[in-house]
């Protein structure tokens, strides 16, 4: 079977689609909503947590965007997911992003975006403030690093850049102060110049995210 990437327009599924498009991976794309009423049984055997993205292939399925990006790179023989000497450095930034910069972005985006899109409760300004404080701390580190080179790895663009920036395409909602960190803002612009990152859903059937209601 042709591998199928099940996705939505939310951040981690977007990340997987962007990686697949960047790699020109030989897969099919299918929009999915496993948490929709009556949909769970179709997807539970692919991912018991019913979360996206999911990559289905002969013999099984793979979930979590990082694992899927690794597999897609294997498929096409790309070093987008590093396999040689650059792998430890790439993993360093992937790991750091999850607990630091990406986590800070997520805190703010969840309050200003996800909560309001999916009616999960009122925006909590105290949590936004905590996220912004963490953003400033981590963006300072990232800005210093990216002031010395264009991408996270000295060897060039890698999956670590995509992972680190996963929430930045949603910054119209999160309103993170990227302009305070010019090297980070320039890096973000370089990423947005990549067609696969700027609009990974081009040519795909993918309903827009629910609108955000005023607080």
pLDDT at residue 160 in the model? 98
Structure confidence by residue, pLDDT tens digits, 13-53: 999 999 999 999 999 999 999 999 999 999 999 999 999 99
pLDDT at residue 1 in the model? 86
CATH classification (class only), 4-76:
alpha beta
DSSP string, 46-98: T-TT--S-EEEETTEEEESHHHHHHHHHHHHT-SSS--STTHHHHHHHHHHHH
Structure confidence by residue, pLDDT tens digits, 103-114: 999 999 999 999
Structure confidence by residue, pLDDT tens digits, 181-204: 999 999 999 999 999 999 999 999
pLDDT above 60 (res 215): no
pLDDT at residue 214 in the model? 63
Q: Does the domain formed by 87-198 have CATH 1.20.272.10? A: no
Question: Of 161, 184, 18, 183, whose CA–CA distance to 97 is shortest?
Answer: 161
Q: Confidence class of residue 59 from pLDDT cuts 50, 70 and 90?
A: confident
User: What is the dihedral sign for C-alpha 120, 121, 125, 129?
Assistant: negative
What stretch of H or E contains 4? Answer: strand 4-7
pLDDT at residue 100 in the model? 98
Structure confidence by residue, pLDDT tens digits, 115-173: 999 999 999 999 999 999 999 999 999 999 999 999 999 999 999 999 999 999 999 99
Q: What is the mean pLDDT of residues 170-179?
A: 97
Domain boundaries, the chain: 4-76, 87-198
């Amino acid at each position: 079977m042709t591998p199928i990437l099940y996705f939505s327009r939310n951040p981690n599924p977007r990340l997987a689609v962007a990686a697949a498009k960047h790699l020109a991976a030989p897969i099919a794309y299918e929009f999915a909503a496993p948490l929709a009423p009556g949909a769970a049984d179709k997807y539970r055997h692919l991912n018991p947590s019913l979360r996206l993205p999911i990559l289905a292939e002969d013999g099984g399925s793979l979930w979590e965007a990082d694992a899927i990006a690794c597999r897609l790179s294997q498929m096409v023989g790309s070093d987008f997911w590093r396999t040689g000497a650059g792998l430890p450095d790439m993993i360093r930034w992937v790991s750091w992003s999850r607990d630091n910069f990406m986590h800070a972005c997520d805190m703010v985006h969840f309050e200003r975006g996800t909560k309001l899109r999916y009616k999960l409760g009122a925006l909590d300004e105290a949590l936004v403030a905590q996220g912004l404080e963490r953003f400033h701390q981590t963006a300072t580190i990232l800005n210093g690093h990216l002031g010395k080179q264009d991408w996270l790895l000295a060897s060039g663009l890698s999956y670590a850049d995509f992972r680190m920036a996963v929430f930045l395409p949603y910054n119209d909602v999160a309103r993170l102060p990227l302009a305070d960190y010019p090297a980070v803002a320039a890096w973000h612009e370089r990423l947005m110049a990549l067609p696969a990152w700027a609009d990974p859903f081009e040519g795909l059937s993918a309903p827009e995210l629910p609108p955000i209601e005023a607080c």
